[in-house]
Amino acid sequence: MTALTLDVRDVTKRFGDGETAVLAVRGVSLAVQPGEIVLIMGPSGSGKTTLLSMMGALLKPTGGSIRLDGTAISELSESRLPDIRLRQFGFIFQDFNLLSALSVLENVAIVAELAGLRGRAARDKATTLLTELGLAARLDFLPEKLSGGEKQRVAIARALINDPTLILADEPTANLDSKIGHEIMRLLRSIAKEQGRSVVIVSHDQRIRDIADRVLWLEDGAFKDIVTMATDPVCGMAVERERAVSAEKDGDTFFCCSRGCREEFLGGLREDGRADGRQPHGWSRLAGALRSRRRRASTTQSDAS
């Protein structure tokens, strides 16, 4: 596989005109290196899906450019885009988007056929891939007979069948339980790290931060500084680390909402966990401490590229 980079430069997307115009994406820039996993997070309506659609050549940007392996895909005519989508991108969706009338094998093989592989060869290739993903016993099943995790693995096989450069995943763990979600995350990581493919994930799932090389925060259509949240060990309130009052204890850093809580925390710990006769919520205190410890520091970025 050729090492390629997705290069998004100053991309803007506006829907509508005049007073009703909505600027969904505002001058976003982003570069994705081969084998890199980039997680884009942000509140609903922040423009994540619009950005992902533009990166996947499903939507034309209003301004800026998107280059894949040096080719400006944002400038290509509609007639040239199907080949790019077919061979360069692999899509993974929250809703799986499998074709309900086709079996597991056919769902994957059809994409290989679209790329020009003949029927038998396409089926063989799909069978191999699905077997590697642990779906050998499900080849003839219709999607409706599969669990959520199995459906997502089929979608991943479909995304990989044409050996794409870039995997674009939209909320890949959203419809899955915790265990299966982790399984899918491990799979995405191995796709990036063992196969050298770039992976861009749009998600609300905090767990995916664990496998991401970079986490970007999209808000109001633009990348913003990442705010790292922590939980006050005394009152249990979510606080922004950067604005919180920190407290050092036994080599660990804790984040409190106010000096009062900090004093209470430090004093309470000194006095058998009690302060002013008020019992800190034991659970929230412990959980907050753990969260504060576990929270991985993420890169603060104003320009994510």
The residues binding other proteins (CB under 8 A) are 49, 52-53, 56, 58-59, 82-87, 89, 91, 93-102, 106, 109-111, 113-115, 119, 122, 143-144, 148, 151, 158, 162, 170, 175
CB of 114 to other proteins, least distance (A): 5
Sequence-ordered alpha helix ranges (H) in 177-281: 178-193, 259-270
Q: Exposure of 237 by Cβ count < 10 A (0-12 exposed, 13-18 middle, 19+ buried)?
A: middle
Closer to other proteins at the Cβ: 66 or 244? 66
Q: In the complex, what is the shortest distance from the CB of residue 252 to other proteins, in angstroms, rounded to a whole number? A: 41
| DSSP track, 98-137 | --TTS-HHHHHHHHHHHTT--HHHHHHHHHHHHHHTT-GG
- Cα angle for residues 53, 56, 60 (degrees, 5° grid): 60
Q: Which is nearer to other proteins, 119 or 267 (CB)?
A: 119
If the CB atoms of residues 114 and 245 are measured against other proteins, the closer one turns out to be 114
CB of 222 to other proteins, least distance (A): 19
> Of 76 and 102, which CB lies nearer to other proteins in the complex structure?
102
Strands 37-41 and 214-219: parallel
Residue placing its CB nearer to other proteins in the complex, 83 or 242: 83
CB of 282 to other proteins, least distance (A): 39
CB of 256 to other proteins, least distance (A): 38
CB of 143 to other proteins, least distance (A): 5
Structure tokens at 117: 């592989």
Give the dihedral sign, CA 83/89/93/99.
positive
The dihedrals phi and psi of 200, each to the nearest 5 degrees, come to -115, 125
Looking at the Cβ atoms of 22 and 290, the one nearer to other proteins is 22
